Amino acid sequence: MDRSPFTALVAGASPVTDPGAKTEGGECTPNLAGEAVVIYDASGKSKLASGIESSIGEVLPSSYGDFAGWCFYATRIKGLPGGEGTYKVQVGGGNLVTVEEEHLRQPVDQQREGMRKTKLPPDDAPAPELPAEQ
| pTM, 2 dp | 0.80
pLDDT tens profile 28-86: 888 888 999 999 999 999 999 999 998 899 999 989 988 888 999 999 999 999 999 99
Give the C-alpha separation, 112 to 117, whole Å. 10
| Sheet with 71-80, side-by-side order of all strands | 6-14, 71-80, 57-59, 27-28
CA-nearest of 101, 132, 111 to 5 is 101
Name the H helices within the chain.
Answer: 101-105, 108-117
pLDDT tens profile 1-44: 678 999 999 998 988 876 555 566 688 888 888 999 999 999 99
